[in-house]
Amino acid sequence: MNENNLHIEICPSILPADFSRLGSELEALEEAGADRIHWDIMDGNFVPNLTIGPDTVASCRKNVEIPFEAHLMVEDPDLLSPMFIEAGCELIMVHVESVRHLDRTLNVILNSGAKAGVTLNPSTPIESITNVLHLVDQVLIMSVNPGFGGQKYLPSQEDKIKVLRNIITERDLSIHIEIDGGINENTIGQATKAGANVFVAGSAVFNHPNGPARAIQDLRKIASSA
């Protein structure tokens, strides 16, 4: 176990996947030991990139058993959340920066039977979510500016993770802290020490010379002993 005694989960992002064979790519990730699939949903407005919609997620639901989490990088999560829940996502993560009534948005997700999460861009303070922590299963801390994979990890986010982990402990909440962006063998240890326990990895998994299973194994090993 790591020094914070946290349960470690590795969630590959689908962004680097070969979208012409997405179903078998997911099967390979499940086979390789992925804990969840991290769907990066981008609408070309909230972030300068456009990825996939709920129908693509729904078509892949039958390929694997592991949970789907949707990272909504969209201008209108209230419109899209129900569609991704319907498509088979167990956890819906909403960017704080993309909603006006966050408490209501999260309650709508919960009332639909899914788990809710909030996501913070690098410049967004923890204070923006302290009044909704009782509603969420997970907080996603962006360690890159969202929109693309393969970017450089921002160590500045570790202080935010430390503050958040202390608040969770003080309030005796059971909330996962997930970190997303530039997570690889060189950065996962320090992110774990800061208090993260769920890790999104795109390039580190898809570009590993020895394949996704070895990548996931190495990441899990480093985080578990951090």
Residue numbers 150-179 binding ligand DX5 by CB under 6 A: 150-151
Is residue 36 within the footprint of Zn ion (CB under 5 A)? no
Is residue 71 within the footprint of Zn ion (CB under 5 A)? yes
- From 24-32, 38-46, 107-115, 150-158, give the range in contact with Zn ion by CB under 5 A: 38-46
- From 76-84, 130-138, 166-174, 202-210, give the range in contact with ligand DX5 by CB under 6 A: 202-210
Number of Cβ within a 10 Å radius of residue 173: 11
Instruction: Give whichever of 75 and 167 is closer to ligand DX5, judged by the CB atom.
Output: 75
Give the Cα separation of 10 and 38 in Å (integer): 10
- Three-state DSSP state, 41: strand
Is residue 217 within the footprint of ligand DX5 (CB under 6 A)? no
Q: State the DSSP H helix or E strand holding residue 158, giving kind and residue range, or none if neither.
A: helix 157-170
CA 42 to each of CA 46, 70, 74, 147: distance values in angstroms, whole numbers, following the listed order: 7, 10, 6, 7
Residue nearest to ligand DX5 (CB): 202
**Candidates 35, 40, 43, 137; catalytic one:** 40
Instruction: Give whichever of 88 and 202 is closer to ligand DX5, judged by the CB atom.
Output: 202
**25 binds, options ligand DX5, Zn ion, none, Cβ within 5 to 8 A by partner type:** none
Closest by CA to 56, choosing from 101, 91, 28, 14, is 14
Is residue 56 within the footprint of ligand DX5 (CB under 6 A)? no
Amino acid letter at 165? R
- Residue 205 and residue 14 in contact, taking contact as beta carbons nearer than 8 Å: no
- From 51-59, 82-90, 154-162, 181-189, give the range in contact with ligand DX5 by CB under 6 A: 181-189
Please provide the DSSP assignment of 141-162 as one string.
Answer: EESS-TT-SSPPP-TTHHHHHH
Instruction: Give whichever of 154 and 167 is closer to ligand DX5, judged by the CB atom.
Output: 154
Q: Which two tokens stand for residue 104?
A: 């209501």
- Three-state DSSP state, 160: helix
Is residue 40 within the footprint of Zn ion (CB under 5 A)? yes
The least CB distance from residue 172 to ligand DX5, in Å, is 29
In the complex, which residues of this chain contact Zn ion (CB under 5 A)?
40, 71, 180
